[in-house]
Chain A
């Protein structure tokens, strides 16, 4: 049995922990905010959140109230964005719609990215039958027309069951990411640090949790961001056709559908909702793109 020489086992007094390098999060944040694109995206997104969540608290009208003294009125100090045919306040309903879109978008992104990470990494790490089964399910969901299925299910969503809607949306958004995750997991599995962990006896679940997922973190963060805009778009489109968020709740898609009919003579009924949607998606996309650059210093666009 070997023994390490005595002098090498002598306790080292050196204090570990000094001169700690800046944490990765701070480095990434620094790079993110170093670009105009990142700052703009973050500012726009923050603004949308502020307006959507804080705005209604300070605003006299709620989205359910109707002003029977003002039908189809243009913007005024009383109704910042004007009113609809029903007398609803456009600012109030638009902010309510933006709220819903943002919440739905964020939740869907988190759920679908989570599913994608779990399915993709398990399939890519274990391969064989596990992989074939999981990827077959992914293929099946890819082949199903998501829009049609979601539309058929829409009656189930009536009565404020929008959380179910979130789950349904997420169910149709994870497949492509999971295939990418699977591919990258296969590559990471061949990386020597995973082999090293395997050969020192670390169990597979721990390897996935400790080595695979953390090294996919950048991909997952970026993907989650982009899934936010994909979810908002799908929600809007469904709502546009009346298959999404159901009345009495409002959504941007529904507002745009109604507004497009009156847009020619009452532009405020269309443009505020449409503008809010465009700004939200633009902000999310800008944040996603800047995050990608910030997380991947070797990547393009950071030169």
Chain B
């Protein structure tokens, strides 16, 4: 097998970490097939790829943390010393000391039964001969260093008492406890909300400044890499397919996979009219790789030679290598010309007439002052109520015919609760929900069934939303049967075709499909009764980038062709940018800002929207590094005890610069959404426009 190495551009300094020809097999399945890279002191290497590309396994192999049945070969040199095959004693001495690691999910990565401070102190005492007291003291210092407020007190807390962002800070503290030379970060911000991600990336940057450590940052997020990495290694099907400086890889990509990936990722700086370019098919399974280039079956530029042999990762320009036989032809810097790549479904359809003005269209969903509180219970064994969660606390919006409203916000903002309240079609706790002109409070069971016919839903996890024990035919036909249809066969086949699936696959089970195909099945089921309004709950967030684009395009295309209305709930602002006509931003159970997508993204007026948008990374190193990031302080306050007045004031950057006299209003008066320009409104007493994208 041929391999290549992503060699550093800066010469002269000795690399801290050098990985060569790394291969990992689980049984007969090669998961990593010859990965190589070097990292120099203080350098950030981004390793990007979709799930299953082998990037996490490769990094665990470097740390020697793979389970025993994994077969690892190749070479891992830390300061020139071979780690592969080294005895456990030697490895243990290196781990956490010279080389440390930060994991993806900080909740499961901390031992639940020990205090955070003790776990930090343990890390210190493993490598340093210091007293118990000194180690405890050092733990507090470390927590302080990563920006945890009241570190002395928080050191005594258990991991489950920390928020996600705080846990990841604690993990970083643990990683830098012994002043390492290399920190391997495995998807360090994937489990976090975008504003918390921005905070944690900041902490990571300062950790690098403090320790001078090199960082290997493994992520699927092209935006994060664009902002922080010096060099990038793109992985596909267990090996590196392109490597080079971040600008070379992003602006002068030489590998069709990289080009495809960059073309399919939703961007904050491109609107609904710029269609995404999905990559056909899905990544190959490690157990059944094609004989030639693993990307060949999906590659729009494939030639017969591609299917014969796997090309090596070879240098195509100084410091820039790619594994493609046609990399020489892919010369010039460009975004991909769309005609190069066949599109499954383009966003805009020439045949569809431009929509009538908003005012002239019928309202399909109206939500007015919706409130949903639920009890907060504590203790798994001694369960009892300790308070009330104000999950949704007075939310109003409307959706008109043929319109997509994106409801966005971070976890805990109440967007999913709001959606469930609407779908229940019951009398809400307070406020009003009117669907197709009918108030849900007054619906009889018979009416409710009639309304359900026109109101359908698509959920986040396509596997969880399809009953694994039913065939695709039964799944897609279920709404038809429920609403009295008898001969469902032909209709199910038509629906499958409509969402781009083979009708012949109706007899299969959901587990026989890939993630993107499953979500298409869920969309087919939602379309079965020809609904007017579809509620989508994070419909693409469980999918890989290259698959996501296809589903977004499908949804956008269907909406345009069939005149559907969508309530599109998502946490990913870039995804929403690509599909929504209008956007509502939620914070702690209330709407912070609402308006046309172009207005909200282009000139946000609420300080929270501004911070949120500024925190979303853009997959373009030049743009990304020029942007000003608005960092928010701390975590989301508990929805059981929201701050008085404006709920955002405790973290608001604007609140900080107000005079005391102005602040009184924020503390005492809860701002309502007030229209500022047309139907663009924000719930801030001191709203003003600010471009952040």
Let me know if chains A and B touch directly in the complex, using CB atoms closer than 8 Å.
Answer: yes
Residues on A facing B (Cβ under 8 Å):
1-2, 4-5, 8-9, 11-12, 14-21, 24, 191-193, 195-197, 199-202, 211, 214-215, 217
Which B residues are CB-close (under 8 A) to A5?
561
A12 in contact with B494 (CB, 8 Å): yes
CA distance A195 to B478 in the complex (A): 13
A214: chain B residues within 8 A (beta carbon) = 467, 469
> Quick one: which of A2, A8, A191, A199 has the most chain B CB within 10 A?
A199
* CB contact between B452 and one of A2, A15, A21, A201 (< 8 Å): that residue: A201
Least Cβ distance of B208 to chain A in Å?
39
Is there an interface contact between B423 and A199, defined as CB atoms closer than 8 Å? Answer: yes
Q: A2–B423 contact, CB under 8 A?
A: no
* B 455-475 to A, binary, CB cutoff 8 A, 1 in contact else 0: 111011100111111000100
Q: Nearest Cβ distance between residue A185 and chain B, in whole angstroms?
A: 14
B493 lies within 8 A of A2 (CB): no
> Smallest Cβ distance from B475 to chain A, in angstroms?
8
* B490 touches A (CB below 8 Å): yes
Tell me whether A12 and B482 are in contact (CB under 8 A). Answer: no
- CB of B635 closer than 8 Å to a CB of A: no
Residues of chain A contacted by B561 (CB below 8 angstroms): 5
A24–B467 CA distance with the chains assembled, in angstroms:
14
Instruction: Report the interface size class on chain B.
Output: 35 or more
Given contacts A8-B497, A192-B461, A196-B457, contact A16 B507 (CB under 8 A): yes
Q: Supply 18 further A-B pairs (C-beta < 8 A) apart from A201-B483, A215-B469.
A: A2-B532, A2-B562, A2-B563, A4-B494, A11-B490, A16-B473, A18-B507, A20-B508, A192-B459, A196-B522, A196-B525, A199-B423, A201-B448, A201-B479, A202-B478, A214-B467, A215-B467, A215-B468
- In the bound complex, residues from chain A placing their C-beta under 8 Å from that of B457 are 195-196, 199-200
Residue of A nearest to B491 (CB): A9
Q: Which residues of B contact A192 (CB under 8 A)?
A: 459-461, 464-465
Shortest Cβ distance from B362 into chain A, in angstroms?
12
Most buried by B among A9, A17, A196, A214: A196
Q: A197: which B residues are within 8 A, CB to CB?
A: 467, 478, 482
Nearest residue in A to B490 (C-beta to C-beta)?
A11
A-binding segment of B193-201, B498-506, B618-626? B498-506
Chain A residues closer than 8 Å to B503, beta-carbon distance: 12, 14, 16
**B669 contacts across to A, CB distance below 8 A:** none
B422 to chain A, nearest CB (A): 10
List chain B residues, Cβ under 8 A from A19.
504, 507
B679 at the interface (CB under 8 A from A): no
User: Can you name the residue of chain A whose Cβ is closest to the Cβ of B528?
Assistant: A200
CA distance A215 to B498 in the complex (A): 29
Give the docked Cα–Cα distance between A20 and B507 (Å).
Answer: 6
Identify the B interface with A (CB < 8 A): 423, 448-449, 452-453, 455-457, 459-461, 464-469, 473, 478-479, 482-483, 489-490, 493-494, 497-498, 502-504, 506-509, 512, 522, 525, 529-530, 532, 561-564
Q: By the criterion CB–CB under 8 Å, are A8 and B469 in contact?
A: no
Q: Which residue of chain A has the shortest Cβ distance to B456 in the bound complex?
A: A200
Q: Nearest-CB distance from A6 to chain B (Å)?
A: 11
CA distance A16 to B476 in the complex (A): 14
Which of the residues A20, A191, A200 comes within 8 Å of B478, measured between beta carbons? A200
Shortest beta-carbon distance from A93 to chain B in Å:
45
B461, B479, B504: the one within 8 Å of A200 (CB): B479
A16 to B449, CA, bound (A): 30
Residues of A within 8 A of B453 (CB): 201
Query: Which B residues lie within 8 Å of A24 (CB)?
Result: 469
Q: Which 10 A/B pairs are nearest by Cβ-Cβ distance?
A: A192-B465, A192-B459, A201-B452, A193-B467, A200-B479, A214-B469, A12-B493, A192-B464, A14-B504, A201-B449
Residues of B within 8 A of A193 (CB): 464-467
Task: Please determine whether A21 and B509 come into contact, CB atoms closer than 8 angstroms.
Answer: yes
Residues of B within 8 A of A12 (CB): 490, 493-494, 497, 503
Contacts of A215 in B (CB 8 A): 467-469
Q: Name which residue of chain A comes closest to B462, CB basis.
A: A192
Supply 25 A–B pairs (Cβ within 8 Å), ascending by A: A2-B530, A4-B498, A5-B561, A9-B494, A12-B493, A12-B503, A14-B503, A15-B504, A16-B503, A16-B504, A16-B507, A21-B508, A191-B465, A192-B460, A192-B461, A195-B457, A196-B457, A197-B478, A200-B452, A200-B482, A201-B449, A201-B482, A202-B478, A202-B482, A211-B467
A192–B469 Cα distance when bound, in Å, is 14
Most buried by B among A24, A192, A202: A192
